[in-house]
Chains A and B, each alone.
Chain A
Amino acid sequence: MLRVNDIIDRLGLETKVKGDMDAEVTGCYISDLLSDVMANSKGGELWITLQTHPNIVAVAVIKGISGIIITNGRLPENDTIKKAEAEKITIVTTQHTTFDIAGLLYNIIKNVK
C-alpha cells in the first residue's frame, strides 16, 4: 500500500499544506479542467494539475482526492492554502512538468500493483 507521505518523499515534492499524510494513494488523475476532475477522478487518487485556484480544494474534498500535486513551479494562491488547511487537503508542488512527474509517479504506482 502506498501512502501520500511515501510518494512525497520518493518524488522530492515540496509540501505546502499537510492534510492526511497517511491516506492511501490508489492511483492518479491528471487534468486541468476541474469539471473533468469532478466527473472522472476517483477517491484516493492523487491529482496532478497546473490549477492553483481555491476551487481545487473544493473539488478534492468532494471527490476524496488523497492529495494535489501542482506542477511547473506554480504555487497555490494564498486563499487556496487557507482553504486546504481548513479542509485538511494535502497540497504539494514541484518544478517538474506534468509529464515528468506523471512518469515518475507511474513507475512508483506500477511497481506496487
Chain B
Amino acid sequence: MKRFIADLHIHTCLSPCAEIDMTPRRIIDRAVKKGLDIIAISDHNSADNIGVTVKMAEGRGIKVFPSMEITSMEEAHVIAIFSSIEEAVEMQKLIFKGLPDRKAEERLSGYQLVVNEKDEIINFCRKHLLGASDMSIKTLVQTVHSLGGICIASHVDRGSFSVTSQFGFIPEDVAFDALEISYNTDKEKAEVMLSEYKSIPWIKSSDAHHLNDIGRITTSFYLEKPSFEEMVMAFRGQRKIEW
C-alpha cells in the first residue's frame, strides 16, 4: 500500500465565503506545492467549478474528487464526495430545485464565481449557495448514497452548521461514511468529544477558504491507488487512515 496525503475539503471562489483568488488553477498549484496527492473540491451546494479543477489537475500528479458541501434543511453541513463529475452535477440539480434564488443584497456576502482554466469569470451562480436545501439530513444522505457518493459530516467538533450542533448528537438513522474534525481540534480533544462515535472513521481536512489554508491539516490514506473506490474501502475499514 502507498501513502496518499489528502485534503478532502477545499472551497473555490464559487463559495461566497471563500476568497476570490481560490481559483481552480491556483488551488491545484498550491496543492501540488504542498505535496498533496488527493483533494476534494467542495463548494457550498454547488458543483460548477469541479469540471475545470479536474481538468487543471491532469498531468500534475494529483487526484481531484468531485464533491459538494451540502446544507441540509436543518442547516447541517455534509461533504458529499462522488466518483464522477456527472454524479455531482446530478446532485446539484436536485439541490438547486430546493435552494432559493439569490437576492441582490446577498451579493454582499460574496461573488459566487464560476471560472475557467485561465481564471476568467464565466458565470455568477444565481442560487443562494449559503442557503439551506429542502432535504432533511436523512434524505440528503440517502440521495447521495443512491447516486453512488459517500457522505462525511462536516466539522463535527464545531458549534455551528454541524450535524452535532444542529441535532445535539449524530442521528442514529443517518449512515455517515466518515466524520470530519476541523483544524482547531487536536486528537486528544477529539477523543473526548467524539468518544461515542468510534464506529465511524474520523478524518481531518482543512476546510480551506484561503490559499494559505490548503493542506494546513491533512489525512493520510494507505491505498493501492488514489481512486474513489480505494477511498471508500478505507472508510469501510479495509484500508488504513491516519492523521
A-B contact pairs, 24 of them (CB 8 A): A33-B159, A33-B160, A33-B166, A34-B168, A34-B169, A35-B159, A35-B166, A35-B168, A36-B165, A38-B168, A51-B166, A52-B136, A53-B136, A53-B137, A53-B138, A53-B167, A53-B171, A54-B171, A55-B167, A58-B168, A58-B169, A59-B168, A77-B136, A79-B173
Map CB proximity to B onto A27-54 as digits: 1 under 8 Å, 0 otherwise.
0000011111110000000000001111
Interface string of B103-145 (1 = CB under 8 A from A): 0000000000000000000000000000000001110000000
In the complex, A11→B81 CA distance in Å?
46
- Mark A47-79 against chain B: 1 for CB-CB distance below 8 A, else 0: 000011111001100000000000000000101
How far apart are B96's CB and chain A's nearest CB, in angstroms?
22
Question: Total contacts A to B, CB within 8 angstroms?
Answer: 40
A51 touches B171 (CB 8 A): no
Minimum CB–CB distance for A36 against chain B, Å: 8
User: From residue A56, how far is it (CB to closest CB) to chain B in Å?
Assistant: 8
5 cross-chain pairs, A with B, having the tightest CB-CB distances, nearest first: A34-B168, A55-B167, A35-B165, A59-B168, A38-B168
Instruction: Please give, as numbers and ranges, the residues of chain A lying within 8 Å of B173 by CB-CB distance.
Output: 54, 79
Q: Is the CB of A33 within 8 A of B165?
A: yes
Q: How many residues of A contact B (CB 8 A)?
A: 16
Chain A contacts for B74, CB-based, 8 A: 51, 53
Contact residues in A for B169 (Cβ distance below 8 Å): 34, 55, 58
The CA of A33 and the CA of B166, in the complex, are separated in Å by 5
Binding site for B on A (CB under 8 A): 32-38, 51-55, 58-59, 77, 79
CA distance A32 to B132 in the complex (A): 14
Residues of A within 8 A of B165 (CB): 33-36
Output the least CB separation between A61 and chain B (Å).
Answer: 11
Q: How far is the CA of A59 from the CA of B171 in the complex (A)?
A: 11
Contacts of A32 in B (CB 8 A): 166
B164 within 8 A of A: yes
Please measure, in the bound complex, the distance between the C-alpha atom of A77 and the C-alpha atom of B173, giving whole angstroms. Answer: 13
Q: 1/0 per residue B92-103: CB within 8 Å of A?
A: 000000000000
Q: How far is the CA of A32 from the CA of B168 in the complex (A)?
A: 10
Chain B residues whose C-beta falls within 8 Å of the C-beta of A52 in the assembled complex: 136
Report how far A36 CA is from B205 CA in the complex, Å.
25
Expressed in whole angstroms, the Cα–Cα distance for A51 and B166 within the complex equals 9
Report the minimal beta-carbon distance from B158 to chain A, rounded to whole angstroms.
10
Q: What is the distance, in angstroms, from A10's C-beta to the closest C-beta of chain B? A: 29
Mark each residue of chain B from 171 to 194: 1 if its CB lies under 8 Å from any CB of chain A, else 0.
101000000000000000000000
- Among B74, B164, B167, B173, the most chain A Cβ lie within 10 Å of the Cβ of B167
Contact A55 B136, CB 8 Å, known A35-B159, A79-B173: no
Bound Cα distance from A34 to B167, whole angstroms? 5
- Find the A residue at minimum CB distance from B72: A53
B residues near A37, Cβ cutoff 8 Å: 168
CB neighbours (8 Å) of A77 from chain B are 136
- Compute how far the CA of A34 lies from the CA of B171 in the bound complex, rounded to whole angstroms: 11
